[in-house]
Amino acid sequence: MTVAVITGASAGLGREFLAALPELYPEIEEYWLIARRREKLEEAARSVPVQCRIFPLDLTDDESYRKLADYTAKIRPDIRLLINNSGCGFLGNVGEGELANQTVMIDLNLKGLTAVTHTLLPYMDYGAAIINVSSIASFCPNARMTVYSAGKAYVTAFTYGIGEELRERGITATAVCPGPMDTEFITLGGIKGNSKTFDVLPYCDPKKVARGSLKAARKGKSNYTPRLFYKLYRGIAKVLPVEVVMKMSKT
Ligand SMILES: NC(=O)c1ccc[n+]([C@@H]2O[C@H](COP(=O)([O-])OP(=O)(O)OC[C@H]3O[C@@H](n4cnc5c(N)ncnc54)[C@H](OP(=O)(O)O)[C@@H]3O)[C@@H](O)[C@H]2O)c1
């Protein structure tokens, strides 16, 4: 049974990955959908003409990785595509507001993504692909979203690292680095209306991001950054001193 796994399949970009899969990866026979909200996952599963299994799991919780490992060991799927998309981002300085808003970004965006990848990799083989959803925030530290941007720098670096580790096994890894998208993310994170930078930056269309990411993964690209504006930003962030880029990119 060939399988695609999508974390964060209940909303936003994850739903768009799901919607694009039947056309762009028609060879995949079953989708595994992971997120916390069961009803949203059930609704997502009904929206596609492909068999789905839903996994209502909190990916900040170690128990969830054990459940996923046990289940996968029983089924022994042939995972062709792993999309690590679950993520959250809170606006606010370190040392202010709730501690949980800072630590949840580490637990979900770094620990969860690493644990899911580690757990599922034994079921991936030649020709399989991993898509890790990072962000333009990974290009340079963003003040007021320090933990988020440092965490996404990890996601991008982790993706390049495993891409190299997996080269001989013929498995590719693609870091997806979108700019702002109008999803639940910016409301839940207290970003909407509270960041001048987010107000003026060009937004990315999640539909286009999902489709572009799947095409980039098919080609085995290590990075997919949508929109020319953000491709240029990525280049600028590589050559200018970090202090200068941080001033430009403060959230
Ligand atoms: N929106 C942006 O401006 C933006 C920009 C760049 C990158 N990104 C990245 O894009 C990815 C998708 O975000 P989005 O914009 O689509 O946001 P979203 O609409 O808020 O979706 C986030 C997804 O993650 C899931 N999730 C949240 N907490 C979880 C947990 N503890 N365990 C398991 N799943 C969890 C959510 O489902 P449940 O609530 O049902 O668990 C949801 O399906 C994230 O990695 C984000 O960092 C977003």
Asked if residue 69 has pLDDT above 90, the reply is: yes
Question: Per-residue pLDDT tens for 148-181?
Answer: 999 999 999 999 999 999 999 999 999 999 999 9
Determine the topology of domain 2-249 in CATH.
Rossmann fold (3.40.50)
Q: What are phi and psi of 16, to 5 degrees?
A: -70, -35
Half-sphere exposure of 38 (CA within 13 A, CB side): 1
Cα(186)–Cα(220) distance, rounded to whole angstroms? Answer: 30
Task: State the average pLDDT over residues 43-60.
Answer: 98
Q: Which atom, in ligand 1's list, is nearest to the CA of 178?
A: 6
Span 186-196, average pLDDT: 95
Any ligand 1 atom below 6 A from CB of 59: yes
* Residue 215 Cα to ligand 1 middle (Å): 21
**Percent of the chain, pLDDT > 70?**
100
At 145, list the tokens.
């979203």
Name which residue sits closest to atom 17 of ligand 1, judged by CA.
Answer: 185
Find out whether the beta carbon of 151 lies less than 6 Å from any atom of ligand 1. Answer: no
For range 49-62, the mean pLDDT: 98
pLDDT tens track for 80-116? 999 999 999 999 999 999 999 999 999 999 999 999 9
Q: What CA–CA distances, in Å, run from 51 to 10, 13, 32, 42, 78?
A: 16, 20, 9, 12, 15
- At 16-43, the pLDDT tens digits run 999 999 999 999 999 999 999 999 999 9
Query: Residue 152 Cα, ligand 1 centroid: separation in angstroms?
Result: 13
DSSP summary character for residue 57: -
What per-residue confidence (pLDDT) applies to 250? 85
Ligand 1 neighbour 88 (Cβ under 6 A): yes
Span from the CA of 45 to the centroid of ligand 1 (angstroms): 17
Decide if pLDDT at 207 tops 90: yes
Probe residue for ligand 1, chosen from 183, 198, 205 as the CB with the greatest number of ligand atoms within 8 Å: 183
How far separated are the first and last CA of the chain, in Å rounded? 44
Task: Report the separation in Å between the CA atom of 9 and the middle of ligand 1, taken as the mean of its atom positions.
Answer: 9
190 CA from centroid of ligand 1 (Å): 14
Give distance in angstroms: CA of 87 to centre of ligand 1. 4
Break the chain into its structural domains and give their ranges: 2-249
Can you give the pLDDT at residue 251? 87
Ligand 1 within 6 A of 60 CB?
yes
CB atoms within 10 A of CB 140: 21
**pLDDT mean across residues, the chain:** 98
Q: pTM for this structure?
A: 0.98
The verdict on the CB of residue 185 being under 6 Å from ligand 1 is: yes
